[in-house]
Structure 1
Amino acid sequence: MSSAQNDQQRQQNNSGANDQDGDAQLGGGQSTFRPIVPGPSFPDQGVPTAGTKRTMGASWKKRVSTACLACKKSKRKCSGTPPCDNCRALHRECIFDESLDQRRRVAAKRTAEELEYHRDMLNDLFKVIRTADEKQAQRLLELIRSDATPEEIRLFIDEVLVQLQTFEPSSRAKRETTAQLKELRSQANMQGSAPSFRRQVMDVNFLCVIPPIAVPASPWTTVTDDDAFVSHLISLYFTWDYPFYSFLDLNVLINHMKSRDLNSQYCSPFLVNALLSHACSYSEYSEAYGIPGDITSKGSKFLKEAEKCLEQRSDDVSLSSLQGTMILYERYSMTGQDDLGYAMLYKAIDIAEQLGYIGGEGQDVDLSHTSKDFYNSAIKTVWGLFQLDTVAHTGFLKPCRIRNVRLSRTPALSIERDSDYWSPYPSQKPPRKAYFVTYFDKACTLSEIARDISITLFADEIVDDKERLSAAVDSLYQRMKRWHESLPYEFHMSKKPAPHILLLHIRYHTILISMFNCPRGHNDQDRSTDLGTATVATRSQMPEGGEDPASIATSSARAIAKLIRVHQEEYGISRSHVFALYAVNLALFLLLEYDTFDISDPDCVSLTSAFSIITTRSILGREVRSIFRRSVSKKKSDGESRWEQLPEGLREILEDDPFETSGSEADHDGHDGISDEANHEGNTSTTTTPLSPTEEDRRVQKLKKNRGPQEGSRGLCEMLCRYETMTLGRDDQVTGKK
């Protein structure tokens, strides 16, 4: 018998003896015993009660996940249920705070809420300092200096903001614009004006997100041995950049990267370092910077290693070499570095020609005997190169270089069977249907039409016959319309599809703008052809509200604004593909040139807001923003500069970047708009060579001679010439070197 049972028996014996003595003292008779308390009853189902657990002794053990605050402070063992045994015995308040348990999801949520609260408070603090009057600003400073609590400061900020918001603009249009700007500024605050420098302390959203693609850093790069960071960059690239051109086979590359096989024909250090250098432009991690806080140094270490690998294997002709060169083209196009954009594009085309996959009039190359990995990689790479070539040359009003692709495309799937998903890493929003196979097929078909447009309208030698040119434009326009109408319903803007599908619509509209606004491409600078009658035969099929090229172009610009608005609302705009910068810039300049730019217009607000965010990501963006700012300032409306008509908040976010180099051509005197001669020639170097008086006079006279009724069109062509130089460099320089 256990000691506990002995003690219980002893207590019962003593109790019985006491009862017998009491009865004897009362005069004898039959002794009476107190009834025994019935034992606990155990329910058939459910969890035993607290009393039941005590009677069950050591056989019942419950794992306590958290303790109350009092037990934590006194370091006592807590029973885990409020009120706990200790608090009940000591008659004290029992409080459980699960958010203090860092293992729980609620703790992460609370941390995120606290970070958001402090971020909002900081933004509102800056807003009050910028917009409040001197008296209110001085009062805020006194509060801070007097060691006021954060709650008191927050209360004062809220009062000032309420006063500022009670101010009503003078007209309904201005009120609507103000409301739109507040909403867009709020989105910009959430998205960040750019992928800004983030120090080693990450916010909870980044700490809680695991990259969807896990790959090793070694042996592919010597820049870092951090697998998590490399996985983060690879995931960013395949989320935000890859879907637009899709010139890689994601599964093939990832599988061979995981194999760590340096002899793989599908993966190489050159390809991986080129990809990582470009992916750094989408990252907010401090490791992505070569110089802390300097966005121009993003990915510079990976780029240096990629260039070293390229130099070592300059004669290599393989798929991985072709893919790495195409990625370097994208990387250089964001900096306009020494004509390297065009250099990489033409090098990629040369590799594809040496492989026998493009050019010539021969039969298609049969890849049916090759492995599945090679078959898929080759088709995606070569057709992706074809898309890249048509986007670059059609966008800059030049004839495409690739006239023929000798690989047949993979057959398209039905929309129901196209089951891939796209997730907006690193945000935790739900995934969307990607429709990668259908998208790639539609994008390649659009590229075929764009190739024909570039050859017909932008070639060096084209027919001067006005009627034949008009008929050609009509035919191409009808092909474009039929293509757009053939897109599946799931691609419609109202369905809010994935970003690459939105950009496909945007690409369609940029091609229309180029078709009807600059019909002779760069040749339009030397001789003009009036296409005012080009579409007379198809007036009944024109976009609603217009029958001429100008209406088609402005309708396309407004369509781009609506698509960009969806992109910004659904996914943000700070990580958009670099093509979005080109499209937004094109739409804004078109509205400026046609004198339809009105900041109270919702489309102009959407474009300008997105523009202010995208342009902070790269050197290219800063240069483009400077040109746009000067163009807006130069335009006059009722004697007042359009720049002065912009709301203060919007002017503020379009001001010069404080980190922009003072020696940039954008700051030189006399460079005030795209019609400037140096701008027209596209010289973006920090030190320009002055023109001789004779050369300068000739160029000025040439521009004056060419200025005609299509002033807006010519200004847009000049802007595209300038944009081309800032991204890809000088085509004629690269061709001359070859």
Structure 2
Amino acid sequence: MLTLAECTPLAPCRNCKKGLASDHAIPATGHQHSDYYRDLLSDMFNLIQSANAPRTDELLEIIRDRGSFQDVRSFLDRALTVTHGSEQPEGASHLIQKLQQEYEVESGMPAFRPKVMDVHYLCDFAPFKVPAHPWTTATDDDALVSHLVSLYFAWDYPFYAFIDCDVFLQHMARGDTYSDFCSPFLVNALLAQACHYSQYSEAYTVPGDVKTKGTDFLAEAEKYLENSRYQKGSVVRLASLQATIILYEMYSMAGIDDYGYMMLNHALEMGEALGIINNPTPLDLARLNYSDEMTMSLQRTAWGLFQIDTIVHANFLRPSRVTDVSIERSDRNTSKPTDLWIPYPIDRRPRPSWLSQCFDEACELSYIARDISRALGSGERDQATLSQRKQEFYTNLREWNAKLPVYFSPERKPAPHIIILQMRYHALLINLYCDSFSEKPPFDSIANKRKRRDSLESNSLEEALRSARSISALVQLHRDEYGIDRAHQFAMYAVMLALFAFLEQRTFSVHDHDFRALTSAFSVMSRRSHVGLKIFQVFRHSVRSRLREDKLADFANLPSGLKELLGDDPQAVPASEGGYFENAGKLVQGEAGDEGEEQQHVASGIGDMLSMYERLSLGKEEEFEGRQRSADGFRFSPPR
């Protein structure tokens, strides 16, 4: 359950709800609020007076459709960028473009008027108010820290939920750095990860450079990381384990060497040392006389770690390392219908969180994912046995989905973590059939050379395509209700998997509505991380290569936006008789000197894409195992 610091317009109490004119109400109190409305009104006048009739009509249409103030603000930022660029003398438009480039962030078109102080304005509505001191030296700004903590618990936390939110916030507010539930290591790791969900310049070390998001906080977290490595056995600190899990997420988005697997393995070792996973004797927390706070936090962390382990290994078809969780699960019915998820900082209505119910369903799904990862990652080649196991997994997955609560239904427009949980279900269905078509050249686009597929493979492709379309529908729901620029990073994996499931199809068409919608979403999600940018480039060249032998005829009729995303100079992907597979053995190493190779690389199929995604985000597990790093090896953030 997410507790609110106070009643706010974005998180109104029951009495205040009655007084709000609409879900889009924004109060006009205080100096910053007055500035906001004055700028909004001034820009509306400027647009109307510019005699730009089409833009003015669009503005009026937004207002007639009951668009929010933020919708109008966003439209004016785009419209005035064009208007000012055309009306200013030569040189002024170049200045505007320069400003755009400096402040471009993952949500698409940057604001025409970058506002460094917006984070303080937003903090007035932040659900959680917490201090910067004594937790971090990267900033002394309580407003920024409150903004980032609120972002983390809105967008990142609910999917894994391996921290007890209430306990953490209470101990952070107390300022006790020796607490078992909050530490400078955990806070700085959390703030670094939260920066990926912020669109404001304070989240960047270098404005506009996605690789520097949160690196000031990360540099401080890494100072504590080495100390945590000496915590062994019963002296492992729970907050250190939680911080290590967050660093796994951070490093996997950054895509630096094999730090992702390093952090995941380190977290699993810490969990085993605490006895909360893979313990032959289950822990009796009642007999150990743990406090309620410790019991709830251990349950969250143990089962959250189980989910992460099964997601990672099922994603890349590798055997899960967690056999079982050694403590009982938290109460499924902790969350009440009145507990709300707050979509901070966007202007959307709160939704029932159903956090404990979602967590419990995710744990059930993780058992199926664990078994799938072990069956498909074991190297089993007995096709009869494997086919039987797959049918069992398919049945288990369908039964899990059928038993979901009715309030999880997409028609109810649930909170985003519930939407992404269902993306995970469909991603598992696609994973289940990946090896049915990963050893053949499925992207060969010449129909008369295509081999006849057997019925099992054909059924696998059909099932994968159905799930890909379901992922498309879920992504569109997320986009309609909350936008996708803050979607949890798992959504990017699910979208990528769905797109390559489309590319596997015999009758693939770049004009397919779901394929186009997923491509658009992928282009937005990918901008949030270094790995995302690389993966999107591989996808883009893979699509072009898939269509190249058709003379790229399909591109002629594409909408201009999609054409810009997928289009390129045909010479950018070198032609060869092998067509799609000319670079299947290569992998981008990732920095400036290899950009030419990156531009040329395409995936030979869904299996190759998964292998690339794994290497780029986590490293290669078999290359990591058994190796030790030097003390200064844990370093992603730039030296300060």
TM over 0.5: yes
1:378 aligns with 2:290: no
- Determine the C-alpha separation between the residues in 2 that align with 1:505 and 1:726: 25
| 1:446 counterpart SS class | helix
- Determine the C-alpha separation between the residues in 2 that align with 1:630 and 1:297: 26
Which residue number in structure 1 is paired with residue 498 of structure 2?
Answer: 587
- Determine the C-alpha separation between the residues in 2 that align with 1:193 and 1:690: 25
Greater alpha carbon shift after TM alignment, 605-614 vs 376-385: 605-614
1:475 aligns with 2:400: no
Which residue number in structure 1 is paired with residue 608 of structure 2?
Answer: 718
**311, 324, 327: which one pairs with 1:407?**
327
Which residue number in structure 2 is paired with residue 349 of structure 1?
Answer: 268
Cα distance, 1:621 vs structure 2: 1.5
Which residue number in structure 2 is paired with residue 423 of structure 1?
Answer: 342
Which residue number in structure 2 is paired with residue 563 of structure 1?
Answer: 474
Q: Deviations over 1:322-353 (max 9, x none)?
A: 10000000001111112100000000000011
1:492 aligns with 2:409: yes
Q: Deviations over 1:387-408 (max 9, x none)?
A: 1111111011111111111111
Which residue number in structure 2 is paired with residue 648 of structure 1?
Answer: 560
- The residue type paired with residue 383 of structure 2 is K
- The residue type paired with residue 378 of structure 1 is L
Structure 1 pair 100–507 and aligned structure 2 pair: CA distance change class (3 A)? closer
Q: Deviations over 1:496-537 (max 9, x none)?
A: 111000001100000000101225989999xxxx996669xx
- Determine the C-alpha separation between the residues in 2 that align with 1:629 and 1:249: 40
- The residue type paired with residue 591 of structure 1 is F
Cα distance, 1:427 vs structure 2: 1.4
Cα distance, 1:293 vs structure 2: 2.3
1:465 aligns with 2:393: no
Structure 1 pair 493–100 and aligned structure 2 pair: CA distance change class (3 A)? closer
Structure 1 pair 404–124 and aligned structure 2 pair: CA distance change class (3 A)? same
Structure 1 pair 122–277 and aligned structure 2 pair: CA distance change class (3 A)? closer
- Determine the C-alpha separation between the residues in 1 that align with 2:584 and 2:320: 26
Structure 1 pair 654–226 and aligned structure 2 pair: CA distance change class (3 A)? farther
Say whether the 8 Å CA contact 1:383–1:405 is kept in structure 2: yes
Greater alpha carbon shift after TM alignment, 592-601 vs 345-354: 592-601
Cα distance, 1:677 vs structure 2: 4.1
Cα distance, 1:363 vs structure 2: 3.5
Say whether the 8 Å CA contact 2:122–2:147 is kept in structure 1: no
Larger radius of gyration: 1
**348, 362, 368: which one pairs with 1:449?**
368
**103, 122, 128: which one pairs with 1:213?**
128
Q: Deviations over 1:529-570 (max 9, x none)?
A: x996669xxxxxxxxxxx811111000000000000000010
Q: Deviations over 1:703-723 (max 9, x none)?
A: xxxxxxxxx9x7100001001
Which residue number in structure 1 is paired with residue 282 of structure 2?
Answer: 363
Structure 1 pair 263–608 and aligned structure 2 pair: CA distance change class (3 A)? same
| 1:736 counterpart SS class | coil
Say whether the 8 Å CA contact 2:119–2:200 is kept in structure 1: no
- Determine the C-alpha separation between the residues in 2 that align with 1:293 and 1:190: 6
- Determine the C-alpha separation between the residues in 1 that align with 2:106 and 2:412: 22
- The residue type paired with residue 340 of structure 1 is Y
Cα distance, 1:443 vs structure 2: 0.4
Structure 1 pair 670–195 and aligned structure 2 pair: CA distance change class (3 A)? farther
**140, 143, 152: which one pairs with 1:228?**
143
Aligned residues with identical type, % of pairs: 40
- The residue type paired with residue 500 of structure 1 is H
State the structure with bigger RCO (CA 8 A, min sep 6), 1 or 2: 2
Cα distance, 1:730 vs structure 2: 1.6
Which residue number in structure 2 is paired with residue 543 of structure 1?
Answer: none
- Determine the C-alpha separation between the residues in 1 that align with 2:587 and 2:285: 45
Cα distance, 1:115 vs structure 2: 4.8
Cα distance, 1:411 vs structure 2: 3.1
- The residue type paired with residue 193 of structure 1 is G
- Determine the C-alpha separation between the residues in 2 that align with 1:733 and 1:191: 32
Cα distance, 1:239 vs structure 2: 0.4
1:267 aligns with 2:267: no
1:236-251 to structure 2, matched below 5 A, reads 236-251=151-166
Structure 1 pair 684–111 and aligned structure 2 pair: CA distance change class (3 A)? closer
Which residue number in structure 2 is paired with residue 18 of structure 1?
Answer: none
| 1:518 counterpart SS class | helix
**414, 421, 424: which one pairs with 1:504?**
421
- Determine the C-alpha separation between the residues in 1 that align with 2:36 and 2:588: 51
Which residue number in structure 1 is paired with residue 431 of structure 2?
Answer: 514
Cα distance, 1:689 vs structure 2: 14
Cα distance, 1:101 vs structure 2: 9.7
Structure 1 pair 218–570 and aligned structure 2 pair: CA distance change class (3 A)? same
Q: Which runs of 5+ in 2 are unaligned?
A: 1-26, 48-73, 91-103, 443-451, 598-602, 629-640
| 2:626 counterpart SS class | helix
Say whether the 8 Å CA contact 2:247–2:263 is kept in structure 1: yes
**342, 352, 356: which one pairs with 1:437?**
356
Say whether the 8 Å CA contact 1:277–1:302 is kept in structure 2: yes
Which residue number in structure 2 is paired with residue 730 of structure 1?
Answer: 620
1:3-18 to structure 2, matched below 5 A, reads none
Q: Deviations over 1:441-475 (max 9, x none)?
A: 00000001000111112214x2x333222211111
Cα distance, 1:112 vs structure 2: 3.4
- The residue type paired with residue 348 of structure 1 is A
Cα distance, 1:422 vs structure 2: 0.4
- Determine the C-alpha separation between the residues in 1 that align with 2:186 and 2:315: 26
Q: Which runs of 5+ in 1 are unaligned?
A: 1-98, 130-139, 147-188, 536-546, 657-665, 692-711
Cα distance, 1:610 vs structure 2: 0.9
- Determine the C-alpha separation between the residues in 1 that align with 2:606 and 2:514: 19
- The residue type paired with residue 123 of structure 1 is R
Say whether the 8 Å CA contact 2:33–2:121 is kept in structure 1: no
- Determine the C-alpha separation between the residues in 2 that align with 1:381 and 1:105: 40
1:535-684 to structure 2, matched below 5 A, reads 548-636=459-547, 638-640=550-552, 642-643=554-555, 645-653=557-565, 675-677=581-583, 681=587, 683-684=589-590
- Determine the C-alpha separation between the residues in 2 that align with 1:284 and 1:332: 20
- Determine the C-alpha separation between the residues in 1 that align with 2:504 and 2:607: 11
Greater alpha carbon shift after TM alignment, 472-481 vs 678-687: 678-687
Say whether the 8 Å CA contact 1:277–1:303 is kept in structure 2: yes
Cα distance, 1:311 vs structure 2: 1.7
Say whether the 8 Å CA contact 2:540–2:565 is kept in structure 1: no
Q: TM-score, normalised by structure 2?
A: 0.76
- The residue type paired with residue 608 of structure 1 is T
Which residue number in structure 2 is paired with residue 309 of structure 1?
Answer: 224
1:398 aligns with 2:318: yes
| 2:218 counterpart SS class | helix
- The residue type paired with residue 624 of structure 1 is I
Cα distance, 1:420 vs structure 2: 2.0
Structure 1 pair 208–329 and aligned structure 2 pair: CA distance change class (3 A)? closer
- Determine the C-alpha separation between the residues in 1 that align with 2:486 and 2:613: 20
- Determine the C-alpha separation between the residues in 2 that align with 1:236 and 1:202: 17
CA RMSD of aligned residues (A): 3.8
Say whether the 8 Å CA contact 2:461–2:504 is kept in structure 1: no
1:50-449 to structure 2, matched below 5 A, reads 108-109=36-37, 111-115=39-43, 120=75, 123-124=78-79, 192-193=107-108, 199-202=114-117, 206-207=121-122, 209-316=124-231, 317-367=236-286, 369-413=289-333, 417-449=336-368
